[in-house]
């Protein structure tokens, strides 16, 4: 069926008045029809993510119901039934999509456990394992702009679904007609019948206990009190972050008023990503007035965190790599000092995260494991340790995109935990007359002056996915011989699984799963890594420099950042 015929079918079948109005409004707009119907949403390891609106390529109640029917068929066929946990964030339509998900699952004989109110993504991961569910659904688009929403699916291990399981679900979704057999139970009636159950407060208390059990220096925040400015960026973090900080002794928390309450329109920033200055700008303004020791912001589903610290009277935003390196170094230091370091400890980082972490881990005798981008791969390493009966070996995992985890109580990044650890770490270094500006400089003096930047290139226009594929194919057909004037000496192609030394011609094997990523190592030790985003229509270029001086690293990074985008024709 052509996408125009599908558009006409939607005009006949849709009963939702808002979507009907949208369909009517585009009847004479071929481009708008194509944008909504030409390329349907595809279910993958990140589930679904798209712009809210009418059409097979958009997030709406019909695409959610169809996806849920496919998920229900998967659970019934693989497990013979079972339970699924459901949670949602503050985005527009999130609660409605969650209720629709629960209703369709109930209609198909699946027991549903759903939170009474919006909750962070890590609390969905926790519920899946705590309640023994076969799967979990989190309605969120993480830190995307307000026009987006998404449908993230977790396996029984609390991790995002593997490639194989996601493919198995998608194969069932493809068999489901958008408008046939996708209806659900009446939510309230299913709740009354016990087919849908609200998650009890006792589970929340178990989650908070699990987070707080990851403290290393208990009561340090009481002994060395902090003043903190916090922003939940109009998302889900407000209650859980403040609860945990209160529990560990951080009493002086000032919340950014304009960003305190849930609001899916995110009125104060177009892109509620705590990695960006725009999202943090109101909090930074409040910091200038309140002069806190620490500024923390969590993204809408509270799995990522942004941080700023006072530096010579001003507030410096820490990068995701800086936060990760600081936390790794603190955890290793504190566990060693308190004689709580497990035998054969393990830390995990993604391939695009700072290799400075490797040197820190080595200095403490910690095994550093490198995995593909996507926190599910870090969660997978925790699962492997659990299956081997030694989950306690895992001490920390991180991604440069501001995602962190310590301990195996969940299998996803957790900004509630990260908020707690950042406060504990700040108080700890205060007890040593150090701060979060001094400590990185200590590390750079010891291991080299690392600098990291990410260049983002947008491909939001029609055909963006195809264009990104073409860019990556071109890089493989004709690899660059130099970047920013520095000779390329090594190429790692994670899709081909090859690691090529250009001087000797020797080709090694990359043992990680295949992924559309290319890394260029330059003659001066700098690296340039190119990767299409798996969740957004953009390409990312990850840049690393490391020289013997801060000035030298800054100079190299400036050259890389200015010229590297030419690699992808930007």
- The residues that are catalytic are 142
φ, ψ of residue 195 in degrees (nearest 5) = -75, -30
To which residue do tokens 């926190």 refer?
A: 375
Q: Give the pairing type, strands 314-318 and 367-371.
A: unpaired
Which 3 state secondary structure label does DSSP give 257? helix
Burial state string for 137-147 with b = 16 or more CB within 10 A and e = fewer than 16: bbbbbbbbebb
| Residue 499: Cβ within 10 Å count | 18
Give 52's DSSP letter.
B
In terms of Cα–Cα distance, which of 150, 411, 175 is closest to 300? Answer: 150
CA 62 to each of CA 6, 12, 59, 410: distance values in angstroms, whole numbers, following the listed order:
13, 14, 8, 31
Determine the Cα–Cα distance for residues 215 and 523; give it in Å rounded to an integer: 42
φ, ψ of residue 297 in degrees (nearest 5) = -135, 140
**Residue 50 in contact with residue 59, Cβ under 8 Å?**
yes
How far does the chain reach from its first CA to its final CA, in angstroms?
36
Across the beta sheet with 314-318, the strand order is: 252-255, 227-231, 294-298, 305-311, 314-318
φ, ψ of residue 478 in degrees (nearest 5) = -135, 90
In terms of Cα–Cα distance, which of 355, 564, 356 is closest to 455? Answer: 564
Residue 431 token pair:
């007890």
CA 67 to each of CA 42, 332, 445, 568: distance values in angstroms, whole numbers, following the listed order:
10, 43, 52, 34
């Amino acid at each position: 069926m052509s996408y125009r015929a599908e558009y006409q079918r939607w005009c006949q079948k849709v009963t939702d008045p808002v979507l009907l109005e949208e369909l009517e409004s585009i009847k004479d707009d071929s481009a708008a029809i194509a944008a909504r119907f030409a390329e349907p949403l595809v279910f993958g390891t990140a589930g679904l993510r798209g712009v809210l609106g009418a059409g097979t390529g958009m997030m709406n109640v019909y695409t959610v119901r169809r996806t849920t029917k496919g998920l229900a068929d998967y659970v019934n066929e693989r497990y013979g039934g079972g339970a699924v946990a459901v949670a949602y964030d503050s985005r527009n339509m999130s609660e409605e999509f969650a209720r629709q998900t629960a209703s369709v699952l109930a209609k198909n004989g699946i027991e549903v456990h759903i939170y009474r109110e919006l909750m962070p993504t890590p609390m969905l991961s926790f519920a899946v394992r705590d309640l023994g569910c076969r799967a979990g659904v989190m309605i969120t688009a993480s830190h995307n702009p307000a026009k987006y929403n998404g449908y993230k699916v977790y396996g029984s291990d609390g991790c995002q679904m593997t490639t194989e399981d996601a493919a198995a679900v998608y194969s069932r979704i493809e068999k489901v007609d958008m408008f046939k057999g996708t209806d659900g139970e009446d939510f309230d009636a299913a709740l009354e019948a016990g087919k849908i159950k609200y998650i009890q407060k006792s589970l929340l208390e178990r989650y908070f206990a699990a987070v707080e059990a990851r403290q290393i220096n208990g009561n340090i925040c009481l002994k060395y009190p902090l003043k903190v400015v916090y922003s939940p960026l109009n998302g889900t973090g407000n209650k859980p972050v403040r609860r945990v900080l209160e529990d560990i002794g951080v009493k002086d928390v000032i919340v950014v008023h304009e960003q305190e309450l849930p609001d899916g329109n995110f009125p104060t920033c177009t892109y509620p990503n705590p990695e960006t200055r725009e999202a943090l700008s109101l909090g930074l303004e409040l910091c200038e007035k309140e002069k806190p020791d620490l500024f923390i912001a969590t993204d809408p589903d509270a799995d990522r965190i942004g941080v700023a610290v006072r530096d010579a009277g001003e507030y410096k935003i820490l990068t995701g790599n800086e936060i990760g390196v600081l936390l790794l170094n603190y955890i290793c230091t504190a566990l060693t000092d308190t004689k709580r370091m497990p035998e054969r400890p393990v830390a995990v980082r993604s391939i695009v995260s700072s290799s400075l972490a490797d040197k820190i881990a080595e200095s403490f005798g910690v095994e550093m494991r490198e995995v593909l981008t996507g926190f599910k791969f870090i969660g997978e390493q925790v699962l492997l340790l659990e299956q081997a009966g030694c989950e306690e070996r895992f001490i920390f995992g991180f991604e440069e995109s501001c995602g962190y985890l310590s301990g195996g109580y969940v299998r996803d990044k957790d900004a509630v935990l990260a908020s707690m650890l950042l406060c504990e770490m700040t108080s700890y270094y205060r007890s040593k007359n150090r701060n979060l500006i001094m400590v990185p400089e200590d590390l750079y003096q010891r291991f080299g002056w690392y600098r990291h930047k990410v260049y983002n290139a947008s491909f939001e226009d029609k055909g963006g996915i195809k264009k990104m594929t073409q860019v990556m194919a071109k890089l493989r057909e004709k690899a660059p011989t130099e970047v920013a004037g520095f000779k390329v000496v090594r190429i790692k192609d994670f899709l081909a699984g090859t690691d090529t030394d250009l001087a000797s011609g020797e080709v090694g094997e990359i043992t990680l799963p295949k992924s559309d990523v290319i890394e260029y190592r330059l003659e001066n030790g700098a690296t340039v890594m190119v990767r299409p985003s798996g969740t957004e229509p953009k390409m990312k270029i990850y840049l690393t420099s490391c020289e013997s001086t801060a000035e030298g690293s800054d100079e190299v990074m400036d050259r890389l950042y200015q010229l590297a985008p030419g690699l992808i024709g930007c």
